[in-house]
Amino acid sequence: MRINPHYLTLPKNYLFSTVAAKTREFQIKYPEKSIIKLSIGDVSRPLPKVVVAALRKASTEMGQVKSFRGYGPEIGYPWLRQAIANFYTNLGVHLADDEIIISDGAKSDSSNLLDIFDRDATVAMCDPVYPVYLDTNLMLGRQPQFLHATAENNFLPLPDDSIKADIIYLCNPANPTGVCYNREQLQQWVDFARRQNAVILYDAAYACFIDDNSLPVSIYEIKGAQECAIEICSLSKMAGFTGLRCGYTIVPKKLRTKEGVSLNYLWQRRQATKFNGVSYVVQRAAEAVFTQEGLSCIQANIAYYRRNLRLIGATLQKLGWQFFGGVHAPYLWVRCPQNMTSWQCFDYLLQECGIVCTPGVGFGQNGENYIRLTGFNSYTQTRAACRRLLRLQKC
């Protein structure tokens, strides 16, 4: 038996697993202390009623002979793909429904897409970075180049000719920093990718939080993007599907290799071989998301999380702690007080406030001395956390 040796180069534990383990240890040691989690990006608001109704209806159909369904299309049912295409049309982006491939989420697709590229392909990504991008490339033996995202460039690095990469990861709005590229900045990345004959893997999982009409929701609002970018989307944060699992990836037919090979064909071929598709019931729920009622309910939930983010941001300002993000994304990227390291700050907030954060160094070298907070908890819990934080002023 021989294993893939590259797995042995990975960090011992996945970042969020480590955070969860340290939190459990604290709870066992101090069972009388209450814990408030502002760490993991999991939603707290329930599914919209229209989505629940679609789930029930589809479940009933699966229990009847005439309406029962077995295997569906690997790339998703056409009615869901068309609903998503219509959503993009309202953004001024025109897509064929077979350019949209349904999946079980952005995390899966951002790693599975690597199947269609040469193992020797060069990769560039930001530091700090969502760990899945890095780890899945390390598993293949790739050593990515890092685009340094720092306070000096507002954590939004731009391309320069020193970067030579076949694959470029962009997450916009960004995880973990919560910042957002504007149109002009994304145009620079698109133009760069086209010059380099590179492909941008564009993670738009948090695009639903963009609250400014001047900012693009999709990379395909940028001229030339359909010739160089794959957009990965998720309903997890947009519609509360973290427990249902549904997303989609857009691979335009204009996106081809120098030899003329269609990446849309390759991705569909990969999915047909390795994936049996998302369940009918979940896809009917996803279809309901893109109805007028569904989109209205989603905006109400996002407004709820934005309220939490404003409250946390106001609290951090009172404390005098520097932070980024929290406007167009569900994350606040916070400079650790008193020059603490990320893990020192994690321990400090857990011990003094019973608040769980995510240490920034877990996202890369440039994340040291930062922590990530989220607005995904309930308003009651978020308000309680902010009260605890303000008590630090008196210490």
pLDDT tens for the chain, 395 residues long, are 999 999 998 887 778 888 999 999 999 999 999 999 999 888 999 999 999 999 999 999 999 999 999 999 999 999 999 999 999 999 999 999 999 999 999 999 999 999 999 999 999 999 999 999 999 999 999 999 999 999 999 999 999 888 889 999 999 999 999 999 999 999 999 999 999 999 999 999 999 999 999 999 999 999 999 999 999 999 999 999 999 999 999 999 999 998 999 999 999 999 999 999 999 999 999 999 999 999 999 999 999 999 999 999 999 999 999 999 999 999 999 999 999 999 999 999 999 999 999 999 999 999 999 999 999 999 999 999 999 999 987 65
> Which segments of the chain belong to CATH 3.90.1150.10?
5-47+294-394
C-alpha–C-alpha distance, residues 129 and 151, integer Å:
15
Instruction: List C-alpha distances in Å: 53 to 61, 80, 254, 281.
Output: 12, 16, 38, 11
Confirm if 232 and 35 have CB atoms less than 8 A apart. no
pLDDT of residue 131: 93
The pTM of the full predicted model, rounded to 2 decimals, is 0.95
**pLDDT value for 162:** 87
Give the span between the Cα atoms of 121 and 142, in whole angstroms: 8
For residue 5, what are the contacts with CB-CB under 8 A and spacing of at least 6? none
Q: Topology of 5-47+294-394 in CATH?
A: Aspartate Aminotransferase, domain 1 (3.90.1150)
HSE (side-chain half, CA atoms, 13 Å) at 126: 30
- Pick from 115, 96, 4, 11: nearest CA to 363: 11
Question: Measured between alpha carbons, how far is 70 from 77 in angstroms, rounded to an integer?
Answer: 12
CB 375 within 8 A of CB 173: no
Alpha carbon distance, N-terminus to C-terminus of the chain: 57
Q: SS3 for 389?
A: helix
What pLDDT does 11 receive? Answer: 81
Alpha-carbon span 345 to 19, nearest angstrom: 13
Q: Using CA atoms, how far apart are residues 201 and 47, in angstroms rounded to an integer?
A: 28
Which part of the chain has CATH 3.40.640.10? 49-291
- Nearest residue to 175 (alpha-carbon basis) of 8, 362, 377: 362
- Give the angle 41-369-172 at the CA atoms, nearest 5°: 40
Hey, how many other C-beta atoms are within 10 angstroms of the C-beta on 38?
A: 26
Q: Please identify, in words, the CATH class of the domain defined by 49-291.
A: alpha beta
Report pLDDT for 227. Answer: 97
